[in-house]
Structure 1
Amino acid sequence: MSDKYPESSRRRRFVKGVVGSAALTSVGTAGAAMLKSSTSPSGEGGGSTEYMAMKNIDGPAPRGMPQIPIEIDDEGFVKGVFPEPEEKKVQGRTITVAEKQIGGITYSSEWFQYCGVQTYAGVDPKADQDDYFRYKEGAKYEWQSQEVSAGNKVHIDDFSDYKTWGNDIGKAGVGKPALVTWRSQDVPSSETMTAQIIRSTHVEEQAHNNKWLQESTQNGFIANLNKCTHFCCIPSFKGIAGAKKFGASNLIYCPCHQSIYDPFQIVKKSFVALPRPEEE
């Protein structure tokens, strides 16, 4: 697999970020192995990656969106788990990676290395960021624009009505959502990691019999990196009226090309994670 752009070219990195979101997902097992050997040396990590995803159930998206494990601190603030960095040998090189065992699954920063996110500061294991979710400016949810302030950390009390909450989209009581940022303090807006969190009784119920959900969710909260795996658009859970036409009023719906995800079906998937750029 040739690459006409030199190792140091920013254009090369950009092309990988865009192409990687869709075209590379169709690469088979043999192709993935070849791709891993050809791309890993150009940056940190990358290659074939297994991850836990919110299942894609309709539309052109090739796979589910990656889940972000949840923790709630002693004061009730909600954050996404990010593994501690460590060094390991990959293809004869020492690289810094972030990996952690959760519920019998290897959780890694490579889960989020697609759609150009691999170039964002927050996905670097060595980034000086805390892991708290903060409300995103311009969210489409009326409750979020009226009751909380953009930039503030998400608190469990903000979701006290999650068992009954509803808007004019779909059924009430399915879950209460918010659009948030993650690991994105003091970075350019173009490098903001946008996530979606939902608090739902469905998550609480499923966690009883699912080891992964027991350890990756808390108090009914579940989260995902909010980048559609089709062409990197921003989907929404109960946030887009047009979702009804496609039977997605109570699901995560992407208005760009009608991809639909079920936040209450968490499945194991794999894809070709793109390498993070080397430090300059």
Structure 2
Amino acid sequence: MTGDPDKYPTESGRRRFVKGVVGSAALGSVATGGATAIGLTTSSSGVGGGITQYVGIANIDGPAPRGMPIIPIEIGDDGTISGRWPDTSTETVQGQQVTIAEMDLGGKTYSASWFQYCGVQTYAGIAPGADQDNAFRAVTGTYDWQSDMEDGQALTIDDFDDYETWSNDIGRGGLGKPAKASWRSQGDEIQTIPVQVLRSPEITKMVNGEGEYADLSDSIRTFLEAATENDVMAWLNKCTHFCCVPGFKAYSGSERFGAENDVYCQCHQSVYDPFQPVERQFTALPRPGD
């Protein structure tokens, strides 16, 4: 369909950033005028929330108000790809003992608050001290290449061996190989944290500031060096507009919106660029009380 030009990108292929029309204005007012109130109401219970700075993949079109947060990864000796969870500690906040998940990573404060939006803040796996396996586990049904996998199977680096040539006839081949996965969601079939994993030759280029990535700031590149490994990156796959689940080179028809080489949300045509990492802030929502 042809989108309302005041809300959604048109099918002309022209890229432009459109402020979110649903929810983002309210969040923006909370972020500026209500930050103090949120800090007071959440800190006392130790369940987080409030103004949060994060690094994400940029929203470049459509109604989404901001990018989706990057999940730092690590690859085990057996090749299993996992998301890093921030270090946990117990601190006294306003007389209460609370568990906090936060750490310095690549010069950025990486915390559980990065993922506290779209209801994810209520998921069991997002609690700082949750006993969860951090491996990215396959979610089948989107990419044909994952059809031989079982849901819940841990992704490994070997699964992406052909990432420099992989193509599914959507957009340009050789740009990288994506997978759909879940994270910190074992034993919870309802509250599954959706993740997109991508292995791409562009990632090393971003870290090194090569070619078109020469303008990336040193701070972003330093973070990427710490948050990626062996050309693999990942992000929380929850569209910041209406919390749908987008996909990188996943949906035919995305070329109508100039998104065939990007992350495209087919619900309302928001578009994200995984090769354009940015630092942003938003008002993270508090987790339920313990």
- In the superposition, the TM-score normalised over structure 2's length comes to 0.84
What residue is the counterpart of 1:76 in the other structure?
Answer: 79
Instruction: Indicate the residue corresponding to 2:19 in structure 1.
Output: none
Aligned to 1:260: 271
Which amino acid counterpart does residue 83 of structure 1 have in structure 2?
Answer: P
SS in 2 for 1:118: helix
- 8 Å CA contact retained: 1:22, 1:229: no
Distance in 1, Cα, partners of 2:177 & 2:131: 30
1:13 paired residue number: none
1:40 touches 1:275 (CA, 8 Å); kept in 2?
A: no
Partners of 1:22 and 1:155 lie apart in 2 by 40
Is contact 1:55-1:65 (8 Å) kept? yes
Name the CA distance, whole Å, in 2 between partners of 1:235 and 1:32: 29
Q: CA deviation at 1:42?
A: 5.4
**Partner of residue 143 from structure 1, selected from 136, 142, 145:** 145
The correspondence of residues 146-161 of structure 1 with structure 2, limited to 5 A, is: 146=148, 148-161=149-162
Q: Which runs of 5+ in 1 are unaligned?
A: 1-18
For residues 180 and 163 of structure 1, do their structure 2 counterparts lie closer, same or farther at Cα, with a shift above 3 Å needed? same
What SS class does the counterpart of residue 180 from structure 2 fall into?
A: strand
Task: Out of 38-47 and 98-107, give the one that drifted further.
Answer: 38-47
**Counterpart-to-counterpart distance in 2, 1:22 and 1:168:** 37
* Structure 1 position 91, deviation (Å): 4.9
Equivalent pair of 2:52/2:114 in contact (CA under 8 Å): yes
In structure 2, which of residues 32, 47, 57 is the aligned counterpart of residue 44 of structure 1? 47
Structure 1 length-normalised TM: 0.87
Task: Give the partner amino acid of 2:142.
Answer: K
- In the alignment, structure 2 segments of 5+ residues that lack a partner are 1-21, 210-220
* SS at structure 1 position matched to 2:98: strand
Partner of 1:128: 131
- Over the matched positions of the two proteins, sequence identity in percent amounts to 54
Show the counterpart of 1:109.
112
Counterpart Cα distance in 1 of 2:183 and 2:32: 32
CA RMSD between the two structures: 1.8
Paired residue total: 258
| 3-state DSSP of counterpart to 2:90 | strand
**Structure 1: distance between partners of 2:283 and 2:43:** 11
3-state DSSP class of the match of 1:149?
A: coil
Give the counterpart of 1:35 among 25, 28, 38. Answer: 38
Which one-letter code corresponds to 2:255 in the other structure? K
Query: Cα distance, 1:23 vs. partner?
Result: 3.5
Report Cα offsets for 1:121-180 as digits up to 9, x if no partner. Answer: 10011111010001014x31011113x222111010110000000112101011100000
**2:190 partner SS:** helix
| Structure 2 equivalent of residue 65 of structure 1 | 68
Question: 1:123-202, aligned counterparts within 5 Å?
Answer: 123-137=126-140, 139-146=141-148, 148-187=149-188, 189-202=189-202
